[in-house]
Amino acid sequence: MSAHPDPGADARTTGEPLRIAVIASIAHRTPPSGYGPWEQVASMLTEGLVGLGHDVTLFATADSITSARLHAEAPRGYEEDPGVDAKVYEGLHNAAVFERAEEFDVISNQFDFMPLTYSGLVATPLVTTIHGFSSERILPVYRAYDRRGRYVAISDSDRHPDLSYAATIHHGIEVDDFTFRARPDDHLLFLGRIHPDKGTHRAIEVAQRAGLPLVIAGVVHDQDYFRDAVRPQLGRRGITYVGAVGPGERDVLLGGARALLHLIGFDEPFGLSVVEALATGTPVVAFRRGSMPELVRHGRTGFLVDDVDEAVAAVGEIDTLRRRDCRDDVERRFTARRMVADYAELFARVAGREPASVSR
């Protein structure tokens, strides 16, 4: 034992706690009470980082729930309270983070592109998770901050060729929140936003041709689509719409399904419901596009198909898959623990090697 311990020794060990700011979306509270995938990921990351012993400040709505320190500018989510002006509070929210930047070793941005535009004004490194591109029209801002953005892709498929990335980090889930079911009920399941992108109408067609009941769950994001393509099908031939579902119902519906039908009409950057289904043992029939080949192991945890005909055939073969394999794959690849560890490693790397320059 030395009388003069080296005060820098702890800081050089690998496990040194970092001072981390997490910027959550303020569309909803964190974690979201209903829909809100960005807020869900921000919450999981925040709680996981706290669990690893890091010193975390979560920037989120005032009604958010966290074991980290909470800094709130917006009283509630702008999607949940018409009195909350989205632009005003997005500005105040981002400003609050960067005005406190000196207090943090790294800032994790889970809230789209606007934080990038503040990042050149502070020395603290920003790591930006790109939760998909809503449109090519948002690319100019990602291009402008490519050199200092330290982008995280949420799937390899979502990497844009114009941008450079610090890492791909797949989302994870709390596997213990999902109950493994060795024997499902008889229904197929559609779970997600009711929107053409998510292919609700294709799920209906496949279920009808396969002669199996279909449960549809999720919030309606496109009213015209729901009215024209979904509602006329309800109540006949075993097509049921149960609305938005909470975590408990979600677990029951997922675990009871023979398969999740994920016949998407866009290159989905990640599909949390796909991973959640697998966690309950339910295989997934998905269109072979976007992140699906990264999430579903064809012929083992589901089937990747190219059209409705193939989807119908895949449903016919669904019993050839072992539900235990689905669960095992999630435990191996898609746990919250793995996701948090990936981020923690990236943050340590970024915090340790950052130059002081603040130019773009």
Residues that bind a copy of itself (CB under 8 A): 83-85, 87-89, 91-92, 94-95, 98-99, 113-114, 116-118, 120-122, 135, 137-138, 140-141, 144, 359-360
Which parts of 162-241 are beta strand (E)? 165-168, 188-191, 214-217, 239-241
Q: Is the Cα torsion angle 226, 229, 284, 208 positive or negative in sign? A: positive
- Determine the 3-state secondary structure of 191 from DSSP: strand
Q: Work out how close the CB of 88 gets to a copy of itself at its nearest, in angstroms, rounded to a whole number.
A: 5
CB of 92 or CB of 229, closer to a copy of itself: 92
By beta-carbon proximity to a copy of itself, the closer residue of 27 and 318 is 27
Choice between 65 and 88, CB closer to a copy of itself: 88
In the complex, minimum distance from the CB of residue 122 to a copy of itself, in angstroms, rounded to a whole number: 6
In this complex, which beta carbon is closest to a copy of itself, that of residue 100 or of residue 349?
A: 100
Tokens encoding 27: 């569309």
Q: Is the four-CA dihedral 244, 245, 246, 250 of positive or negative sign?
A: negative
Segment 156-165 long-range contacts (CB within 8 Å, at least 24 positions apart): 156/291, 156/294, 157/267, 157/269, 157/290, 157/291, 157/293, 157/294, 158/130, 158/132, 158/133, 158/267, 158/269, 158/270, 158/290, 158/291, 160/133
Nearer to a copy of itself (CB atom), residue 143 or residue 227: 143
- Least distance from C-beta 162 to a copy of itself, angstroms? 14
Supply the minimum distance, in Å, between the C-beta of residue 108 and a copy of itself.
19
Alpha-carbon distances of 219 from 36, 80, 246, rounded to whole Å: 11, 14, 11
Beta strands 188-191; 259-262: pairing state: parallel
Least distance to a copy of itself from the beta carbon of 292, Å?
A: 28
Other beta carbons within 10 angstroms of residue 228's beta carbon come to 11
Of 30 and 119, the one with the shorter C-beta distance to a copy of itself is: 119
Question: Least Å distance between CB 139 and a copy of itself?
Answer: 8
Q: What is the H or E stretch that residue 152 is in?
A: strand 151-153
**Cα-based distances in Å from 40 to 148, 279, 342:** 26, 17, 17
Q: Of 5 and 83, which CB lies nearer to a copy of itself in the complex structure?
A: 83
Minimum CB–partner distance for residue 270 and a copy of itself (Å): 22
At closest approach, how far in Å is the CB of 73 from a copy of itself? 8
Is 74 or 336 the residue whose CB approaches a copy of itself more closely? 74
DSSP one-letter string for 28-40:
S-SS-SSS-HHHH
Q: Which helix (H) or strand (E) covers residue 331, if one does?
A: helix 323-333
